[in-house]
Structure 1
Amino acid sequence: MPPTPIRASLLLAALLLTSPAWSADPVHKEKVELTAEAPTHSVKGKIKGYGTAEYTLTGKAGQTLRVQLKTNQPSNYFNLRQAGKDEALFIGSSGGNSYQAKLPADGEYTVQVYLMRNAARRNAAASYSLDIGLRN
């Protein structure tokens, strides 16, 4: 017996609104709270393949942000993005695994840890430690 038009519509809607787990790359998101009493945050993590980790913090113009990535994988880097901007403030694959500079504006900043495509395609893994510091 063929499905009724209503059942067919519901089935189609269910298929369109759900995405299989295997289609999405894992993204670990973490909010980092940096204060005068706790101006640094250290984390250890792992990523694999096209998975990424995003650490978001809030800063003020003129504060100095320092980010240091230590990793066991030579294709593991981080980018730094300012909310609302298309271009990254820092691109690890060309700038290295260390960043220190004054923030250009008040707002939210995200440190995204990732593997370069050559390693991600091979489903390589990286263990890393990330130090984030913010000082006036």
Structure 2
Amino acid sequence: MKAAAALIGAALLASTTAMAGDIRTERVHFKKGASSATVEDSIKGYQGVDYVLGARKGQSMNVSMATNNTANYFNILAPGKTDEAMFIGSTSGNQFEGTLPASGDYKIRVYLMRSAARRDEVADYRLEMIID
């Protein structure tokens, strides 16, 4: 039983690692005096994008995404976290608003659900990020 659990865990880790290779990283810079930034882009299949932006504990963050693909979502990862999301779009929708728990770099990870990625679907999206 323990061997089967270990095998399943190893398979999941390998799957996550393989998908992580398809994630590109882009640093988000707000224009001088601005508290928001908007990105328009697209992803295909297993591609994903980590939008990285710095923020301080206690600040408010608002992230929203408009997309043409119903399998396109974003997660938010707190500073220091690599795969543990504080917000999961596939279960909570494409709108996040909350107070940040820590200071540092937050990742907004845009992705397609596995079923759409397998079919090599494309998603065009507009992502708005606001920090107050």
Amino acid aligned to 1:106: S
Is the 1:81–1:90 Cα contact (8 Å) retained in structure 2?
Answer: yes
- Once the two structures are overlaid, the 10-residue window that deviates more, 41-50 or 23-32, is 23-32
Task: Name segments (4+ residues, structure 1) moved above 6 Å.
Answer: none
Residue 64 (structure 1) aligned with residue 63 (structure 2): no
Unaligned runs of 5+ in 1: 1-22
Alpha-carbon distance in 1 for matches of 2:71, 2:60: 26
What is the root-mean-square deviation in Å for CA atoms of aligned residues?
Answer: 1.9
What letter matches 2:118 in structure 1? R
| Aligned-residue offset at 1:83 | 2.4
- Give the C-alpha shift of residue 27 in structure 1: 2.8
Take 2:26 and 2:20, find their aligned partners in 1: how far apart are those partners? 18
User: Is the contact made by 1:48 and 1:123 (CA closer than 8 Å) also made in structure 2?
Assistant: yes
The structure having more radius of gyration, on CA atoms, is 1
Partner of 1:8: none
CA contact (8 A) 1:67 1:133 kept: yes
Identity of aligned residues (%): 42
Q: TM-score, normalised by structure 1?
A: 0.77
Unaligned runs of at least 5 residues, structure 2:
1-18
Residue 36 of structure 1: CA displacement? 7.1
1:79-90 to 2 correspondences below 5 Å: 79-85=75-81, 86-90=83-87
Task: Rate the CA distance shift 1:36–1:61 in 2: closer, same or farther, 3 A.
Answer: farther
Maintained 8 Å contact 1:47/1:114: yes
Q: What aligned pairs does 1:1-136 form with structure 2 within 5 A after superposition? A: 26-34=22-30, 37-85=33-81, 86-135=83-132
User: TM-score scaled by structure 2?
Assistant: 0.80
The amino acid across from 1:90 in the alignment is: F
Q: Is the 8 A contact 2:79 2:102 kept in 1?
A: no
Paired residues, number: 113
